[in-house]
Structure 1
């Protein structure tokens, strides 16, 4: 039968989302989570592949702005909810949805598309490169502790109901937006995602708990977590499952972590998503007891190379010509001359001799400054055609602090 690709109709959402659930294992998400995703779905930016009356493929996009080096927020399509029915693999369904989606993103004038991947190897062929990473940790709080800076004892900590404290926590979160590349400015309604707490998602732990950090009556930080009590013959061996922790200053941040390390009847903290340069690595007394691991986070795609490279600033002066390969979006292919510094940049097509040659995937990986062009060259993915060009461009593209995506989408 012929497969039809079309924009998602509102009355089709339940079947469309059900096919997505089936592709990810067939376990329905909790009703409250499903209801929120129904509200957040942008139907005009979502497509379904249909064979007769059966949905066999799904793909959507959210309208975001993402922070880039220099602090600006740039329009970006948040690609999401991508699936193909197991019965319809290797028929070009995914390629057709990616083709349609990137054409639509370009028509909307968004220079970037981005996603988080369940299987990272899928999206490189569509021009997405891994632009940020995240730390996970399994911290042994019996053998490791926190060395807090002076002033931590002056931070007041108190429990607060998750719902009642949501506005204060959101204010702290928003104050940090743009402090790192890779952070999202989301439309209204997205703040509710952080408050979802269905029992099915707790892994046997408590309902979400919130502790606020205050100084002079003002909220300067917060932590949200679950407590999972466990007992052995030798005694308590509970775990803290961290949801999120943010603070306006280093002292409040350390005070919150010291609190987590000291919760009675627990011996470990499970952390899923922190930045790769998290100050926690320097607060702990023994990083070897933290079970640090790294995984990919945000995959970035330059939909319009020129507009994307102009949208960010550069850590050092740079004047370099890229030879860009982009077979999936051929409008990007060719030579681009980038000239920029910490104040701004220009990027235009040129006939000048190329200094560096690379695939658009690898330009996307380096775009947020967390992956160096030099490391990509070491993997054979960037070719230096003019001596010195690689060091110049790699230094200019770098970001301090490292990029980080606090939450998925």
Structure 2
């Protein structure tokens, strides 16, 4: 184990701390705009630095998030971020020490969930995180794929606007959507700036970020933020539309925005992502094969307090099951928990009753938002049915009709 010293980060140490993080992720410095944004968002009381011989060799932090869960509740959640260990200090227990300190602090703060976006998914399973949501990306040949939108999309007025000038209105619309989809974040002040963070170094030849609004009778019903990457060959233009964000309150606005993106002059490709895996545009196209759809992991989640976490969400069907939970890294979660609940509410308490299912806390985290089926996990042998019928009951209850989705990283 390491002999490094873990300390809370002081504001005057941020530059060194962040430089270590940049070095761990390849050593290319971020733009001043990006650094200023992330410094402003840093919660210093939640940031950790690992020190050895007077220099920082490890970094970790978390944000005070509110995560939407099945049923519409928005739950206090630690958003784990900025995790790195210097190449000179690998395999010396630095990461484990930081994760131990961090989860103890999260528990003390009364946050029942912790989430992260993994640069390397293989790392975090041993600390109890499971893959709780996925994201969709696509590269659509708009010159050959036709899009059919709802008829009332013709009644939606579209207009371009400066992304920064309409940021508050777009953020208010986004906030209305958060309870309806698990995995979304209720953003605290300052986080809305991510939607317009647009350093030239990240554009890859595309234009500055643009914004189009969808309005009905003067009311904002949706928006899209995008850029255009122009390209030409001997046959003519073949530019790409790069979609960054799209939110809409109804099918008409949603369809009008997608039709707009589909038809931008001098382009033949629409680059999409990340989007929810159940994004409706997939059912509006006439040739899904030419849309280049692909999926990858997104949000990794671990229950920090199993009882509070399971009681916070709602369930798609009535459930009354005893779970035997294994949690080697946070042993306070290990043992049997009786979960009772339905679409109106839930309770999860300690019990001595016989267990119906046995699973690890990571598998519980994977199933928590409704994206990963307990039945699928049982097929791997990781979830074990101890009472006949318990698996089908729990799997049906943990499912959810709307796919979870994390709109952006952190």
Range into which the TM-score falls when normalised by the shorter chain: over 0.9
User: For the residues of structure 1 that align with 2:69 and 2:150, how far apart are their CA atoms?
Assistant: 30
User: For the residues of structure 2 that align with 1:394 and 1:130, how far apart are their CA atoms?
Assistant: 16
- The 5-angstrom pairing of residues 49-198 of structure 1 reads 49-198=50-199
User: For the residues of structure 1 that align with 2:51 and 2:41, how far apart are their CA atoms?
Assistant: 22
1:256 aligned partner? 257
User: For the residues of structure 2 that align with 1:348 and 1:245, how far apart are their CA atoms?
Assistant: 40
User: For the residues of structure 1 that align with 2:148 and 2:37, how far apart are their CA atoms?
Assistant: 40
Once the two structures are superposed, residues 232-285 of structure 1 have per-residue CA deviations (whole angstroms, 9 ceiling, x without a partner) of 111111101111011110011011001111111111011121000000111112
User: For the residues of structure 2 that align with 1:16 and 1:66, how far apart are their CA atoms?
Assistant: 27
* Deviation for aligned residue 1:121: 0.7
Please list every run of 5 or more consecutive structure 2 residues that lacks an aligned counterpart in the other structure: none
User: For the residues of structure 2 that align with 1:380 and 1:238, how far apart are their CA atoms?
Assistant: 48
Tell me the secondary structure at the aligned position of residue 147 of structure 2.
coil
2:400 aligned partner? 399
Kindly tell me the number of residue pairs found equivalent between the two proteins: 409
* Deviation for aligned residue 1:187: 1.7
2:49 aligned partner? 48
Tell me the secondary structure at the aligned position of residue 143 of structure 1.
coil
* Deviation for aligned residue 1:340: 0.8
User: For the residues of structure 2 that align with 1:399 and 1:15, how far apart are their CA atoms?
Assistant: 43
User: For the residues of structure 1 that align with 2:200 and 2:191, how far apart are their CA atoms?
Assistant: 20
1:334 aligned partner? 335
1:222 aligned partner? 223
User: For the residues of structure 1 that align with 2:138 and 2:103, how far apart are their CA atoms?
Assistant: 35
Once the two structures are superposed, residues 307-359 of structure 1 have per-residue CA deviations (whole angstroms, 9 ceiling, x without a partner) of 11111111111010111000000000011111111111111111111110000
Residues 91-100 or 147-156, more deviating: 147-156
User: For the residues of structure 2 that align with 1:338 and 1:169, how far apart are their CA atoms?
Assistant: 38
2:234 maps to 1:208: no
User: For the residues of structure 2 that align with 1:166 and 1:190, how far apart are their CA atoms?
Assistant: 11
* Deviation for aligned residue 1:149: 1.1
User: For the residues of structure 2 that align with 1:344 and 1:16, how far apart are their CA atoms?
Assistant: 43
1:38 aligned partner? 39
Please list every run of 5 or more consecutive structure 1 residues that lacks an aligned counterpart in the other structure: none
1:231 aligned partner? 232
User: For the residues of structure 2 that align with 1:322 and 1:372, how far apart are their CA atoms?
Assistant: 15
Residues 313 and 345 in structure 1, CA contact (< 8 A), matched pair in contact too? yes
User: For the residues of structure 1 that align with 2:332 and 2:159, how far apart are their CA atoms?
Assistant: 55
* Deviation for aligned residue 1:186: 2.3
Tell me the secondary structure at the aligned position of residue 185 of structure 1.
coil
Residues 223 and 256 in structure 1, CA contact (< 8 A), matched pair in contact too? yes
Q: 1:2 to 1:348 in 2, by over 3 A?
A: closer
Residues 63 and 186 in structure 1, CA contact (< 8 A), matched pair in contact too? no
Once the two structures are superposed, residues 176-231 of structure 1 have per-residue CA deviations (whole angstroms, 9 ceiling, x without a partner) of 11110111112211111111111111111100011111111111111110100001
